[in-house]
Amino acid sequence: MRDVSPNVPQPEEETATPEQHQEDDRRQAIKTARGLVRQAMDHLRQGHLSLGAVEASVGFVDVITHLKTSTPILNYATPRRNTAWVGSGHINDGLTILSQLGRKEVFIFPDLLFPPVFNKTLIKAGLQPAFSLPVWAYAAGQRTYSAPVLPTSISIQPVSRRQSMRNWWYIRRHNPFEINASILDQMQLSQDLQDESNREEINLVVRRYNTAIGAARITLQETSAHIATTALLRDAGDELGRLLLAYCLQYALGTGRDMVFTSSLSEKQGTYAQSLGFVDVGNIVCYAESATVFKDMKGQHGSLAQPVSTL
């Protein structure tokens, strides 16, 4: 037992410096962000599996493939869950499986979970940078959230999936709309593939008075929600874009999900997302045998919807 008599000098208690507190906060923020981006990756993977894709493991790599389409959205290699490094041998094994099935060589991973040198490993495997998708995530925790009040002329309300498909059909064929869509969103796929999915989703329509001027789609998994695609008239203004993001978050949280993320924001929209409580959790990065593999995608169905604007 420590001698606490008054005649014995006592060691001074160490007090953390402001720098130490900052470092502790930084480490905790990184730990939290890594957990959130893992959730985002799991969400996307489950969405792809719900469309009929299957997964197999080879070493520290998981390979996602689909028998009915060769689109890289549903055919890619990715690090196995909870893996901090993948050697070149396992990467090549995963890419070989894709090649043997007549698929493009595609490798997708979250950059926050891997050191920068990992990119060089993929380049040495013969791959090229294809895209880098910024991801913003919101952890519900014990926070309460309420979206801003809408102007009296504007409404943002859920609609049925059938009505939503009609809305998107119209939006994608008319230039006045600006679409922000994640390149990994399954809405980029042909309609018959989407019809096979048993996914849960929220579809929103934005109206000015009685005229539809925008839409949004939020996909749901067990504990997470993805604000996957939004669209507004090009002249709608930044403020309405911010309101749409805020209401997407409110509707997603209303389902009880504990994490909401988005992977289709511009830099300006990312700044606004941060003001709502989203945090930057890095990028979903893709390396592929061709830098244009996603831009050129044409599946076996021949009716893949091309993204109008992908970030």
Write the pLDDT tens digit of every residue in 29-51.
899 999 999 999 999 999 999 88
Distance of CA 117 to the CA centre of its chain: 23
- The pLDDT score that the predictor gives to residue 80 is 95
Rounded mean pLDDT of 193-202? Answer: 69
Write the pLDDT tens digit of every residue in 53-109.
999 999 999 999 999 899 999 999 999 998 889 999 999 999 999 999 999 999 999
Token pair 């997470």 is at which residue?
224
Residue 304: partners with Cβ closer than 8 Å, 6 or more residues away: 69, 71, 188, 189, 190, 297, 298
Write the pLDDT tens digit of every residue in 216-266.
999 999 999 999 999 999 988 889 999 999 999 999 999 999 999 998 788
- The pLDDT score that the predictor gives to residue 144 is 83
Both structure tokens of 233: 């008239």
**Helix (H/G/I), strand (E/B), else coil: 163:** helix
Helices (H), the chain: 18-50, 88-100, 117-124, 161-171, 191-195, 238-253, 267-276
Token pair 């993948």 is at which residue?
86
**The pairing of beta strand 259-262 with beta strand 200-208:** unpaired
> Helix %, strand %, coil % for the chain, to 5?
35, 30, 40
In this predicted structure, the answer to whether residue 7 has a pLDDT above a threshold of 70 is no
- The pLDDT score that the predictor gives to residue 46 is 93
Write the pLDDT tens digit of every residue in 152-194.
999 999 998 888 888 888 888 877 888 888 887 766 565 555 5
pTM score, two decimals? Answer: 0.85
Domain 154-282 matching CATH 3.60.40.10: the answer reads no
When pLDDT is cut at 50, 70 and 90, the band that residue 310 belongs to is very low
- The CA R_g of the chain, rounded to the nearest whole Å, is 22
Write the pLDDT tens digit of every residue in 116-160.
999 999 999 999 999 999 999 999 987 888 899 999 999 999 998
Say how far apart CA 212 and CA 93 lie, in whole Å.
49
**Percent of the residues in the chain that have a pLDDT greater than 90, as a whole number:** 59
**Helix (H/G/I), strand (E/B), else coil: 194:** helix
* Contact in structure between 245 and 229 (CB atoms under 8 Å): no
For 239-257, letters b (16+ CB in 10 Å) and e give ebbbbbbbbbbbbbbeeeb
Give CA torsion, residues 115, 120, 122, 123, to 10 deg.
Answer: 160
* Domain chopping of the chain, boundaries: 21-133, 154-282
**Helix (H/G/I), strand (E/B), else coil: 246:** helix
